[in-house]
Amino acid sequence: MSANRLSHKVNHVSLVVDKSGSMRQHETQLVRVVDEFVKGLQEESDRLGHETRISLYAFDHHVQNLVWDMDVKHLPSLRGLYKVDNGATALIEAAVKSVDDLKNIWEGYGEHAFLQVVVTDGEENASGLAETGQMHTRMGAGQGRAVLRRWMDRIHRAMGDLPEHWTSAILVPNSLAKRTAQEYGFPAGNIAIWDADSSKGVEEAIGTVKSAASSFLQGREKGVRGTRNLFAMGQDLKPAEVKANLDALHAGTYILVPVDQPTPIRDFVTSAGHPYRTGCAFYELSKRETIQGTKQLAVAEKDPATGRMTGRVFSGPAARQLLGLPQSQTTVKPGDNPSYTVFVQSTSVNRKLVPGTKLLVLL
């Protein structure tokens, strides 16, 4: 006798959070960011019917596993688990340990995917301290460089050997740390900057991680098991998906207008000879933006050979889901897609438009 076998998607997520002394002033903010990321995983896993399991690591100059491969629905708030110490920052060692540990998970049955997210406010200065007895930044120049080089080799091997169904990402405090993370082997599209020193920066980080959680799990539904553009939106959009899920706007009901100067959006529309109605204009997503859950989205088709817009535009209620956005406020940056450009509805009258972009106006 034979029986049908249940096939299911299993996601293994590893959160690696900095608890070094410099994080003390950011402790509350980090708890909020991580809790919202976990909430996003919980909600999207429930909606899609995925099994998502989570591991949690905290590190200063030591790396500690706090939770191992637990059902994400059962993970409590980080507030009860996370405590900042006065230690240094073994960032490389923590990232390598997380990857090495996850490689022990058996993948014999089910369709597995792995996601590592590291959150830090500083830079590497202490990997290998348990072996050497001191931070490599306080050793003699030659000895310190040798220790750091060994750990750089280890993280390069760890990142370079990751299969296609693994995604490794990191949140860092500034552009210098972003360049360093790229040197470690984190793909540029999987690196986001979070400003833990301002309430706006924390809110943006929350939007970024929730969008990343949603995007990762929705990508799994499309057969994408790993990505190098976790924090970018629209890079994986396919023509077949757009045409199957969105509506093509009728010719004559909209125009695409080139923007030549940073003019307020209402003034720009009226100067082009069209009445301005709240919500009639969509700006081209050209930089990091915070998008409210009520905003509509549209995508303009491009010729992959030239990169120029063809004039065809698609929109509809399914656009947010197709682009991996939750139904809540989120912060995103544009992905590089050869076939489409994303446009976001504006309800403002004074948003300054970006020269060199286009404005979509519904007539």
pLDDT by residue (tens digit) across 277-301?
999 999 999 987 888 889 999 999 9
Q: Which pLDDT score, from 0 to 100, does residue 268 have?
A: 96
Q: Which two tokens stand for residue 338?
A: 């050869």
Q: Which pLDDT score, from 0 to 100, does residue 334 have?
A: 84
Positive/negative CA dihedral, 291, 325, 54, 130: negative
Where residue 96 sits, what CATH number does that domain have? 3.40.50.410
> Are residues 102 and 123 located together in one domain of the fold?
yes
Question: What value does the mean pLDDT take over residues 326-353?
Answer: 87
Nearest to 111 by CA among 61, 165, 58, 154: 165
> Are residues 152 and 284 located together in one domain of the fold?
no
Nearest to 213 by CA among 230, 237, 225, 201: 230
Beta carbons of 165 and 102 less than 8 angstroms apart: no
1 domain-assigned:
no
User: Residue 227 pLDDT more than 90?
Assistant: no
> Are residues 263 and 324 located together in one domain of the fold?
yes
**For residue 57, what are the β-bridge partners?**
16, 65
> Are residues 196 and 75 located together in one domain of the fold?
yes
Q: Which pLDDT score, from 0 to 100, does residue 344 have?
A: 96
Percent of the chain with pLDDT over 70: 98
Lowest mean pLDDT among 89-93, 178-182, 196-200, 210-214: 196-200
User: Residue 326 pLDDT more than 80?
Assistant: no
Percent of the chain with pLDDT over 90: 58
4 domain-assigned:
no
Q: Which pLDDT score, from 0 to 100, does residue 7 have?
A: 72
Secondary structure (3-state) at 93: helix
> Are residues 155 and 247 located together in one domain of the fold?
no
Q: Which pLDDT score, from 0 to 100, does residue 74 have?
A: 94
> Are residues 167 and 99 located together in one domain of the fold?
yes
> Are residues 263 and 159 located together in one domain of the fold?
no
Q: Which residue has the tokens 């859950």?
A: 293
Question: What value does the mean pLDDT take over residues 302-316?
Answer: 94
Question: What value does the mean pLDDT take over residues 240-250?
Answer: 93
Q: Which pLDDT score, from 0 to 100, does residue 360 have?
A: 97
User: Residue 19 pLDDT more than 90?
Assistant: yes
Among 198, 230, 262, residue at a domain's last position: 230
> Are residues 205 and 247 located together in one domain of the fold?
no
Name residues whose C-beta falls within 8 Å of residue 299's C-beta, 6 or more positions apart in sequence: 234, 237, 242, 246, 313, 314, 315, 319, 323, 340, 341, 342, 343
Positive/negative CA dihedral, 230, 232, 236, 242: positive
pLDDT category of residue 1 using cuts at 50, 70 and 90: low
Q: Which pLDDT score, from 0 to 100, does residue 257 have?
A: 96
> Are residues 41 and 146 located together in one domain of the fold?
yes
Phi first, then psi: give them for residue 279, nearest 5 degrees: 90, 0
273: left (phi > 0), else alpha (psi -120 to 50), else beta? Answer: left
**Which residue segment(s) compose the domain that 84 sits in?**
9-230
Secondary structure (3-state) at 159: helix
Q: Which residue has the tokens 């940073």?
A: 262
Q: Distance between CA atoms of 293 and 323, rounded to whole angstroms? A: 13
> Are residues 86 and 222 located together in one domain of the fold?
yes
What mean pLDDT value characterizes the chain? 90
pLDDT category of residue 249 using cuts at 50, 70 and 90: very high
Domains held by the chain: number? 2
User: Residue 2 pLDDT more than 70?
Assistant: no
